[in-house]
A = this chain, B = another copy of it.
Amino acid sequence: MFFGERIRQLREEKGLLQRQLAASLEMDTPMFSKIERGERKAKRDQVFLLAKLLSVPSEELLALWLAGQVYEIVKDEKVALNAMHIAEARLKLPVKPKYKTNNG
C-alpha cells in the first residue's frame, strides 16, 4: 500500500472530497490529486496534518511516506535488497559519541 493510495482510502472512508482536504492543506485540488496518485510527494509537515485530518496515527502515514522515498531510490536496482540490508544494519548500529565523557 502506497502513501497516496492510503490517503485516498482514508479520505473516501470519511466521505471527504479532494478539494476539502486540499483546502486544509492550503494547496489546490490538482496538487492534492497528484499526491494521492503518487505523482508529487507531500511535504513532511503535510503528512502529520493529514494524519490528524484523517484520524490515523501519524506514525502510520510517516512510515508509508518514508517507505515511498526509499523505494524510489532502489526500485530498479539489481542490488536493491542488498542495499536495504546494509542500510538496515547501519540503522541498528549504536551511535558513536562525538566527545569523550568522564566515564565513557
Contacts and interface: CB of A to CB of B under 8 A. Distances in A.
Interface residues of A, number: 28
Q: Report whether over half of chain A's contact residues are helix, strand or loop; otherwise say mixed.
A: helix
Taking the full assembly, how many copies of this chain does it contain?
2
Interface string A67-86: 11111011101111111101
Contact of A66 (B2, B59, B67, B79): B79
A98 to B, nearest CB: 15
Interface of A: 2, 59, 62-64, 66-71, 73-75, 77-84, 86-88, 90-92
A80 B89 CA distance: 12
16 contacts: A62-B83, A63-B86, A64-B83, A66-B73, A66-B77, A66-B83, A67-B86, A67-B87, A67-B90, A68-B87, A70-B73, A71-B90, A71-B91, A74-B87, A84-B87, A84-B91
